[in-house]
Every structure is written in structure tokens, then in C-alpha cells.
Structure 1
Amino acid sequence: MTSHTFEIGAEDFLLDGQPHRVISGALHYFRIHPDQWRDRIRMGRMMGLNTIETYVAWNEHAPTRGEFDTTGRLDLARFLREVQEEGMHAIVRPGPYICAEFDGGGFPAWLLRDPAVGVRTLEPRYMAAVSEYLRQVMEIVAPLQIDQGGPVIMLQVENEYGAYGSDHAYLRALTDLFLETGATVPLTTVDQPMDDMLAAGNIPGLHATGSFGSRATERLAALRRQQPTGPLMCSEFWCGWFDHWGAHHHTTDPAVSARELDDLLAAGASVNIYMLHGGTNFGLTNGANDKGVWQPTITSYDYDAPLDEAGRPTEKFWAFREVIARYAPVPEYDRVDRALFVVPEPASLRSVGALGDLVAPDWQDHADVPTMDTLGISRGLARYRVQLDQGPAAGVLAFAEVRDRAWVSLDGQPVGVLAREDHAWSITLPRGEGLLELLVEDQGRVNYGPRIGEPKGLIGPATFAGVSIAGWNASAVPLDAFESGSSLQLAPQEAPLTAGAHVFEATVALEAPADLALSTDGWGKGLVWVNGFCLGRYWRSGPQRTLFVPAPVTRAGENLVTVLEFDSLGTDTVRFVPDLDLGHTEY
């Protein structure tokens, strides 16, 4: 492969010594099925982009310390090679903190289980882990830099650090680590273009870029005040926004977004459109925010981007393509558009059994109520039980906090739900004796702000009628059985319906693999797998009413759909619809 140079010039980026404008779009490889990467990359090229940008999610690659998974949807090298094979450059943003509305902002849960570990600081244990991580990332990325014949033209250090802190020694240590591990392309930072944030989040040797979605002239002027020379770049041009459960689907007017992009390019700046294609928070990977109100992010990361969740061009795609064509060559559009989804026949859901009967717990004994992190759970569900012996009188069960949702039962009978979004940490029990059980769902780790790294699960002390409760059993709920792609049905006949978390299955016939839009109308709250692939969460609180099923997880013939419902299903069928439905909107 031919090597090239990419440098920071006095006013421009320089590709092989010549001025070059970066016109980029964001794709997160971990939010897209790997067999659909090429399609999304090529669609970016069709819009007129010359570069693809991605974050690297530390927690996905290293769910346990010492592990670094690069298989399947985590094959970063394959993703970058596919970018290059499409004739495009790449920008890589390894963090270590990425935000991205992703679980924990990309931090692995194990990193912060010791409360003494600092976050985004020079704290030694944190920096030791970061060093391990960046060395593993750079083993992949360094050989793929442009001066070694690869596509990578820039690497970002940290992420909007000026909105968090101002420790320049920390930024210098990270920069030195990038250089030590083989970085030869320009190193950048990104911050919102406010003087204080730009000053706090940058040091000499790093090229500052901005993150914004409007008022380009004003924001670029702020960037120039802090950085008198070098190319101007908005490396997060926000063309949409993310959604959280219980709210509306965010959209931006395509014409307004296109005008903002035009202003940005007319000023001579480079750009990275965030997002070109958002993709999906498959599995349990969504993040959450808590600034006094608990707001977990939905499964779809559509972001109202130029390519929708299924990779199809939207009105915004065509508007952006028209703008880009004024400033750079745009290839002839040669793609076959996919307007509607295949809609297989509805399939009957059969009752497989109660979650507790199908997935055996590995009970651990604890004197006091443990957190999920104490149990070693990074994501998912935990079961808790304790024998109450405080008599027949009713009383209040209370915790210091519940993170994030707990279904409460007594002697197998549901009592109610403790929900973080309602600040509900207590519930009245009809009596103080019997087997108290709770199923707790982690709805996504906080990805932004001071609550990053907080433990999940039940937060003690736990009391009944003001008296501490001791003698707990607790267990993770292993979800591996759902990932086998095989039926969990233990008997030929349907299992009787039970109150509480319950598993259902359906068999869906397809003539050939196809993208699908699975309707969740009439369902309560839970998770869905197709042939063992977890599509993610659904919730009647909306706004999202469909789940995207990528074609590569389906097959010709029978397809197994598994539903884990925490509340109740109001329908006994699995239905598919002609298009995605992300809910009501507000402008």
C-alpha cells in the first residue's frame, strides 16, 4: 500500500503537502452489524464524504480486564480496511472516554468498581488501565495510519475534556501515551467552542476542533481566538440528537441543517457530520443521563441522521449531498434505495416459562444488600431475595436508591415497581414476613457528568419499617442461554403464564435474509433476541415503537424470536411493519 503524509498546515490540512479539506461523517462500527459496515461506508461516499470517523468503545472490547475482543462487530481493523477499500480516509477517537450516549461513556464497569480510582485524571490506577487499553488500540491503529499505507489521518485525545476538567498534565500524559504507542498522524481535541472550554480542554501539540450544530461563523471565530493558526474544523457537526425513554423523537429540519452545513463549508472549515448514520444500541449497550432526572437512552441511535437506522438515505442525505457538491466532487449516485421493509406474516407467541424457572441463579450470600458491581455484574439483571421475619403488620420497604428499576414480590406475588425515573426508593409491603424478592434491571450506565462510574443495583441500607434487613441472597441473571439461538422451551406444551418476568418465543418464516422492523406495540418492557442476537430493549413508555432487525441476523426458513417481558404482553403475536417507527416528534 502506498504511504502518504497528512499534516497540520498554517491554514489548511495538508495531504501530501497540498491543502485538503476533510469532509467526514461518523459511523460507530460497534453500533452496526459488521456485514452492513460496507453499505454504510459506501453511502457516506455517495453523499460526498472523503472520510469516516469512529469512536472506539473500551468497554465493548474489554468487558473484563486483560481481555481485548476484536471479533465480529468489534473488528476495528476490518472496519478501517473497509473504509480504505472504499477510497476514504478515517479518523479514530479512542477516548479513553467517549460519551457517545453509550453505556458508561465507554468506560468498562470493572475500571471504576474501586471508588478510589479517579476518572479522567492522573490517578495512578486509572492511568495504568488507560495505558493498557491505548496500547491495545494502537496495536491495531498504528499500522493503519496514512504514513504507513493505511487510511487513518487523525487521532483524537480524550473527548470534550473542557466540559469536564482542566488538568493539562493529564492531557499531556495521554498525548505522550499516544506518541509512545506509535501515533504519527495529527492528534486532536474536541470541545464546545466556548473560550473557557477550549482553553481547559487543549494543550500545545494538540489541534483543537469544535463541536456544534449551528451558528458556525460565531463558533469558528471562538475557535480561532484560542488557536490563531491551523485549519478550522467542526469535528462534531450535530445534525440531529439522541432520544431517551419517555420523551419524544428528536428531529431537525433538513433545510435548516443543510444551511448550517453550507455556512460551515463556506467559511473554509473541515467537518465531521455527527452522525452520518447512528445505528443501534444493540443488546444492553445504551447509555443514560442523570442531571437530577434519570434519562436512559433508547435502543435506536437513529439520531435523525442522513442515513436512517436501517442505512437508508433520508431527506437530510440529499440536502447535505447538494451542499457538499458546491465545495467538493460528489460521485454519481449508484445505489438501489430500500424504501420499505420485508413484512413476514405475524407469528404466535408461545409461553416458555417464568424467567426464574428457565435461568438458574448462582446465589451468593451477603449480610447487607449488595450492588450489582459487588456481584461482578457489568450489565443486565440481578435477582435479590431475603426472608423477612418482622411480623404480619404492613410496613415500608426502603432503600437509599434503586439503580435503575426493581420489580418487587412477596411470597411470589407482585407488589409493585421501584423506578429511578420516579425517584421511587420505597414501597409498602402488605406484611413484614415472607420471602421478599426483587428483580433489578440496569437500564444503562451514566455516560456524561459526575455520576459516571456509580454502582448499579440496590443501594443500601435496606430497611423494613425502619429496621435494617440482613441476610441477603443475590445473583446475576445469566442471559447467555438467550444467545444460543435455540429454543428455551422445556416441554412440548406451552408453560402456564405467571406474573413477573416471563419468556415467550415465536417462529417467523422468511424466504431470504432481510432487514425487518419488529413492532413492539402492545408489549410492556423487556428484551428481544432474533436467532440469539439481542436487538435491545423495548418499553411501552416510548417514543420508539419498533426494533430494527439487521438482515445478517436472519436466515431463509425459520427464525426464532425470543421475548423476555418484565411486565405484561398485551398481544400474543410478533408483528412486523413496513417501516421503522421512532415515535412522535417535536421541532
Structure 2
Amino acid sequence: MGTFTPDKEHFVLDGKPFRVLSGALHYFRVPPEYWDDRLHKLRAMGLNTVETYVAWNLHEPRPGEFDFSGGLDLARFIQKAAEQGLYVLLRPGPYICAEWEFGGLPAWLLKDPGMRLRCYYRPYLEAVDRFFDALLPQVTPLQITHGGPILAMQVENEYGSYGNDKRYLTYLAEGLRRRGVDVLLFTSDGPSDWMMQGGTLPDVFKTANFGSRAEEAFRVLRQYQPEGPLMCMEYWNGWFDHWGEPHHTREPQDAAASLDEILQQGASVNIYMFHGGTNFGFMSGANLDIWSGQYQPTVTSYDYDSPLDEAGDPTPKYYAFREVLGKYTELPDIDIEPSPKQALGTVELTERASLFSSLDRLSRPVWSATPEPMEYFDQQHGFILYRTQLAGPLVENVLSIRGLHDRALVFVNGTSLGVLERSPETQTLPLAVGPEGVTLDILVENMGRVNYGPDLLDRKGITGHVMLGQQFLYDWTIYPLPLEKLDGLDFTPAASEGQNEPTFYRATFEVQEQKDTFLALPGWTKGVCWLNGRNLGRYWERGPQKTLYVPGPFLKPGLNELIVFELHGTKQPEVEFRAQADLGE
């Protein structure tokens, strides 16, 4: 059994001074077949510890239903870290941010119309308690105090940037202790007074998160923790991307210099991210700019311009960081190699199924007087279709959606009227109705729930009303479309001309080897891809991301199936599997 504690100047591991040199690697963003490889490369760079968040929304997809299997086997990931000679920092939430859908919170919380998040609100705390009751028995036997690799666990996450409910933070800390957590507890917050004051507790170890100006950041941290070792819990060496914005990069030497500055202070560090991985499925989050009110959905890739790229290969930043770390620790003599890649060439998608003709196969409609958000129908992700009938004649007026979250395709009698997007200003489309009346369809896409800031409570679909002119529209038939299973689709041979309505396209193709590849969709507009039933994530011609990462284990030797759900149509239904990623500029 071991011990890990802070003294006046250092962390002390089993009676000896210990500097935490950690890298962030989220098990839920990396195929489990690659956990060993990524951890091996983390150790080879000179790090001694791996840090991971815990994604509550993956482990409890429905209230009371828990999953710790396969790629969600957190205990196995921690054990693999130990096998590589690594210690572990565990950040169990309940909130994690991480540019992850809803900051890791499960969307079913939002079915409660009165939900209050991240505070002492009893229904929220009851859900947290149920999650911790299921999670903590998985990890408490793996604490350093029980002979395992877990050195410390975090209380909440960057709470000071959200609130100041000390009763809530105390409840979480006491809940961890009550359930058998006996290692060091810590908080992490930005190095500013309001964040440190809101997010810390007197008897819990404090750390700071920042990407530069280490001396200045640690000076603020020292005001709230006068003694003890300094720790940067998130050293932001790169950044994430939003759709429609440039691809973020940071020069390796600049990032290495900032890492050196942290270590020169005698501090411990957690490099965020060491390896970002991928937001597979519908799990990428979003931001809502507090000044402009602009909604900013995150791309599928979580490459983060990290030392290891999205496919797990070392970058120039990896070697620049290794050189810096070599000044402060003995580097292991470990060989690393890039993983093999393959280009499979062009694949034609020869079958199709229209969304509108497939509605009854994909969804069970529900009637509602008003267009309610998807959470009220026990739906968490994907799309939702709102349908109503309009009588005529009506002269041309403006159609608007109040509370659109996040992007709507509008159809009149099956013909596209246009697109409305979530915006600080209410957008409109012109609509006239003839004497025979029309069917109005509004297909709303959930582009990812806000994962940070005051607008975290982010229900999806239509959260307000649909209006034509000054009149509210009522009497809706609603089709929830989580798109979790597509095996009921009835595909037919694709027409030679492109489709301009939401359509599923399918291809089958042969593969010899399970090597990584990258899916490119030139000529396609916006949608989602599934490979052998796995949701690879969203694509969008808006960029910057131009390819989707396909890990080798997602492929099967022999016949493979690709389904592309394209919202706007393509003139040429074919894709390319390339040997290199393209994350934009």
C-alpha cells in the first residue's frame, strides 16, 4: 500500500519527493485496442502519470443503466496504465467540460423542466449520487492507498468559472470520501481571483489551469494556497476547433518553452492534451460566446494539436516536449513508431434511402400541441422532425423559430424552403400558402450541447415556438430521430442524379487489413457517417476538418458497410479513403 501527499514544497510518494509529469489521454476518445499504444508513447515521452476525465453521459446513457464494458472499461484502462509503469490522476466529474457533449453530463437530466445544474439542487444531486455509487466501486480498489496507480481524484472541474456554491462542492467532496476515496482530493481552476474563490474548498488541494505565463499564474495560485507544491493541472499546449473557424495550431517551440517555464518553477504539470483522440458519434460539444451569443459547435476531431496527433502518431511537438522533459527527468529508452496507414481509394455509394420515406422505420411519432425539445421525448442525440399542416390561402409571411437548437432544414410539401441556424438574431424564411394548404416539415439537428459557461443548460430541437408572422403554430406530429440503429432502413439502387433531400447512402467494400485510414467526402455538404454500425461523427463542407479518422479496428477483413446521411445532397455519391488526415488550415 502506498501514499501520495503534499508537504510544504513537494509531492511525496511513498516517503520520497515526486514531481508529477502527466499527460491527458481520455480513454473514451481512443479505441480500446489502442490504449496500450498511446500509454506506451506517453511513457516514452518522459511522463510518469496519465490523467483522464470520466464521461458520465457514456457510462449512464439512460437513468439507472450503467455501462463499464469494452471501450468504457475504465478500470481496465487504469490497470493498463499501471502495466506501463504509469500513475493516474482521475477526474470523475460529474462535470468535465473537455469540449465533450454537455460537458459529460447526461442529456436525460434536461427532461426535468426545473433542472438546475452544478449546484445544490436535490434532483441533480440524486442523479450524481447514483452515478458515483456505480462508478466509485470500479476505481477505489485502484487507488495508491490500495496498491493501485491512482494518486489523486478531482472534485468537480473548473467550478469557479461557473459558480460559487460551496455547499455543492462540499457535498461532492464528502460523497467521494464516504464512498471510499482516500487519496488526495484536488480542484482545478483558472488563475484568477473569481475562479479560485468560487471553485476551491479550504481543505482540498488546489491546482491551476493555463497555457502560458506560468510565473504569473502560479503567483495567483499562491494567494489561495500559500504552501505546498505547485501544479498546473491543465497546461494547454494546443486548442480545439469549431466548425467554420480556422484549424488551431501552436508552434512546437513556443509550446515547449511554456512547458519549460512551468518546470523551471519547480512545479508539477499535466499536459492537456497529450493525445486528444476523436469525438466519435454525436459526442462533440459546443460553446456559446458570452459576448456575441454566437453558437459554436466543435468539430469531430479532437486532435488538439497535441504531441500525439489524432491517429496516435508523434508530432514535432512530441519531440520538442521530450527534449524539455529530459532536462528534469531521466528519459526512458523506448522506441516508438507511427501506426501503419492505408489508402483504400474511391468507394461508390450505390444504394440510397430517403429520410422522409424512412420515417416510420426510424421513429415512432408523437403528437404535441407545441414543438417541444427532444429531451422531453427521452431523446439525447441526433435529429428531430416537427411536422404540421397549414391551411390556406395565406399571403407570403415570415416563418421563424424561437429557441432553435441548433440547425433546421425547412420543407414545404417535401420541397426545401431553406435553412435556419441558431443565431443571436431570429432568422426567417418567406412562406406563402395556397388554398389547398401545405405540409410543413422542420428537421432540426442537435449539433452538440454547450459544454462550458453560463449557457450549459442547453436543450435541443425547438425549445420555444414556431411562428408564421405573428401567429404561433400548433398541432405538431414529432418524429424523434436519434439514429442509434439504422438496420431497419430499406435501401434501393441510387438514382444517377444527385438527391437534394436528406438521404441515407450505403456502400459495401472489401478491406484486406485493419489499418488506420481517413474518410474524405469531397462534393458532399453536411451529415454523419457510420462504418460497420459505428458512428464516425459529423462532417461539414464548412470545415476546417476535411477528413474523418477511421481507426483500423473499426474495419473488418472482408466486407465492410459505410452509410452516409447527407442532409443537402451530393452530385456524385462517392467517398475516398486516404492515408493522411486533413484537418484544414
Q: TM-score, normalised by structure 2?
A: 0.96
- The residue type paired with residue 78 of structure 1 is R
Is the 1:375–1:475 Cα contact (8 Å) retained in structure 2?
Answer: no
Q: Distance in 2 between the 1:422 and 1:410 partners?
A: 25
Equivalent of residue 481 in structure 1, options 461, 468, 485 = 485
Q: Is 1:463 aligned with 2:464?
A: no
Q: CA deviation at 1:492?
A: 6.0
Is the aligned partner of 1:560 residue 2:561? yes
Distance 1:254 1:327 in 2: 19
Tell me the residue number matched to 1:87.
Answer: 85
Question: Take 1:491 and 1:443, find their aligned partners in 2: how far apart are those partners?
Answer: 29
Q: How does 1:315-326 map to 2 (within 5 A)?
A: 315-326=316-327
Contact 1:113/1:453 (CA < 8 Å) preserved in 2? no
Deviations along 1:303-334, one digit per CA (max 9) or x if unpaired, are 00000000000000000011111111211131
Which residue, out of 126, 135, 150, partners 2:124? Answer: 126
C-alpha separation between the residues in 2 aligned to 1:191 and 1:349?
Answer: 48
Instruction: Tell me how far apart the structure 2 counterparts of residues 212 and 70 of structure 1 sit (CA, whole Å).
Output: 32
SS at structure 2 position matched to 1:77: helix
Deviation digits for residues 187-245 of structure 1, max 9, x if unmatched? 00001111332122111221000100101111112211211111110010000001000
Which stretch of the first structure deviates more once superposed, 392-401 or 215-224? 392-401
String of CA shifts for 1:494-540, please: whole Å, max 9, x gaps. Answer: 69854311011122322211100111222100000111111100001
Shift in alpha-carbon separation, 1:478–1:125, aligned structure 2, 3 A: closer
Q: Please, which of 200, 203, 206 is the counterpart of residue 201 of structure 2?
A: 203
Name stretches of at least 5 consecutive residues in structure 1 with no aligned partner: none
Aligned match of 2:346: 346
3-state SS of 1:299 partner: coil
Partners of 1:383 and 1:428 lie apart in 2 by 20
C-alpha separation between the residues in 2 aligned to 1:430 and 1:41? 60
Per mean C-alpha deviation after superposition, the further-off stretch among 387-396 and 291-300 is 387-396
The letter of the residue matching 1:579 is Q
**2:498 and 2:571 in contact (8 A); partners too:** no
Read off the aligned partner of 1:199 and give its amino acid letter: Q
Find the counterpart in structure 2 of residue 522 from structure 1: 523
Q: Distance in 2 between matches of 1:81 and 1:430?
A: 63
2:540 is aligned with 1:542: no
Measured after TM superposition, the shift of residue 349 of structure 1 is 1.6
Structure 1 pair 493–99 and aligned structure 2 pair: CA distance change class (3 A): closer
1:363 and 2:361 equivalent?
no
Partners of 2:350 and 2:494 within 8 A in 1: no
Q: Deviations over 1:86-144 (max 9, x none)?
A: 11011110111111111111111111332322211111111111111122221111111
- The separation in 1 between residues aligned to 2:491 and 2:536, in whole angstroms, is 24
Give the Cα–Cα distance (whole angstroms) in 1 for the partners of residues 504 and 494 of structure 2: 14
Whole-Å separation in 2 of the counterparts to 1:238 and 1:23 = 14
Letter in 2 for 1:258: A
The one of 9, 12, 24 equivalent to 1:11 is: 9
1:437 to 428, 436, 441: 441
What is the CA distance between 1:149 and its match in structure 2? 1.5
User: Out of 262, 270, 289, which is 1:264 matched to?
Assistant: 262
Whether the 8 Å CA contact 1:351–1:496 is kept in 2: the answer is no
Report the AA paired with residue 447 of structure 2: Q
Give secondary structure in 1 for the equivalent of 2:138. helix
Distance 1:424 1:545 in 2: 30
* Offset, 1:478: 4.3
* Shift, 1:571, TM fit: 3.0
User: Contact conserved, 2:351 with 2:492, CA < 8 A, in 1?
Assistant: no
The answer for the alignment partner of 1:117 in structure 2 is 115
Partners in 1 of 2:13 and 2:494 — Cα distance?
67
| Cα offset, 1:455, TM superposition | 1.7
Q: Is the 8 A contact 2:236 2:271 kept in 1?
A: yes
Superposition deviation, residue 416 in structure 1: 0.5
Distance 1:576 1:424, change over 3 A: farther
SS of the aligned residue for 2:375 comes to coil
Partner of 1:447: 451
Which amino acid counterpart does residue 356 of structure 1 have in structure 2? F
User: 1:402-456 CA deviation, whole Å, 9 max, x = no partner?
Assistant: 1101111111111111111474542111326211111110000011112112221
Match of 1:384 in 2: 386
Secondary structure of 2:126 counterpart: helix
One-letter amino acid of the structure 2 residue matched with residue 163 of structure 1? S
Corresponding residue for 1:414?
416
Q: State the one-letter code of the partner of 1:272.
A: N
Q: What percent of counterpart residues are identical?
A: 44
1:345/1:508 contact within 8 Å kept: no
* Separation in structure 2 between the aligned mates of residue 403 and residue 435 of structure 1, nearest angstrom: 22
Instruction: Determine helix, strand or coil for the equivalent of 1:90.
Output: strand
Question: Which secondary structure does the structure 1 equivalent of 2:217 belong to?
Answer: helix
Provide Cα deviations, 1:139-197, integer angstroms capped at 9, x if missing partner. Answer: 11111101112111110001111111222222111110110011111000001111332
> Per-residue deviation at 1:271?
0.4
Contact in 2 for aligned 1:288/1:445 (Cα 8 Å): yes
C-alpha spacing 1:169/1:480, structure 2 compared with 1 (3 Å): closer
Question: Which residue does 1:402 correspond to in 2?
Answer: 404
Change (3 A) 1:522 1:379: same
1:443-500 CA-partner distances (Å, limit 9, x unpaired): 0001111211222111332222322211100011142333x5xx94544676985431
Which range is displaced more, 523-532 or 388-397?
388-397
In structure 2, which of residues 252, 273, 276 is the aligned counterpart of residue 275 of structure 1? 273
Distance 1:359 1:463 in 2: 24
SS at 1:480 equivalent: coil
Superposed CA RMSD: 1.7
Is this contact kept in 2: 1:295–1:421, CA < 8 A?
no
**Structure 1 residue aligned with 2:183:** 185
Letter matched to residue 352 of structure 2:
V
Q: Distance in 2 between matches of 1:373 and 1:423?
A: 24
Please give the alpha-carbon distance, in whole angstroms, between the structure 1 residues aligned to 2:511 and 2:62.
Answer: 37
- CA distance in structure 2 between the partners assigned to 1:100 and 1:55 by the alignment: 8
Q: Does 1:331 align with 2:324?
A: no
The alignment partner of 2:377 has SS state of coil
Secondary structure, counterpart of 1:393 in structure 2: strand
* 1:341 alignment partner AA: K
Contact conserved, 1:24 with 1:51, CA < 8 A, in 2?
A: yes
* Match among 161, 164, 167 for residue 166 of structure 1: 164
More divergent stretch after superposition (448-457 vs 111-120): 111-120
Could you tell me how far apart the structure 2 residues matched to 1:465 and 1:238 are?
47
Give the whole-Å Cα distance in 1 for the aligned partners of 2:552 and 2:111: 37
TM-score normalised by structure 1 residue count: 0.95
CA distance in 2, matches of 1:97, 1:223: 22
Return closer, same or farther for 1:488/1:365 CA change in 2, 3 Å cut-off: closer
Shift of 1:18: 0.7
- The one-letter code matched in structure 2 to 1:378 is Q
Do the aligned residues in 2 keep the contact of 1:535 with 1:548 (CA within 8 Å)? yes
- Structure 2 distance, partners of 1:237, 1:62, is 29
Label 1:211 to 1:561 Cα distance change in 2 as closer, same or farther (>3 A). Answer: same
Q: Secondary structure at the match of 1:461?
A: strand
Amino acid across the alignment from 1:406: A
> Match of 1:373, SS?
helix
Residue 351 of structure 1 deviates from its aligned partner by 3.4
Q: Which residue identity does 2:366 align to in structure 1?
A: Q
Is the contact between residue 63 and residue 108 of structure 2 (CA under 8 Å) also seen in structure 1? yes
Corresponding residue SS for 2:485: helix
Q: 1:344·1:509 contact (CA, 8 Å) conserved in 2?
A: no
Shift of 1:345: 2.6
Amino acid in structure 1 at the alignment position of 2:516:
D
Cα pair 1:445 1:452 within 8 Å, conserved: yes
- Write the letter of the residue equivalent to 1:138: L
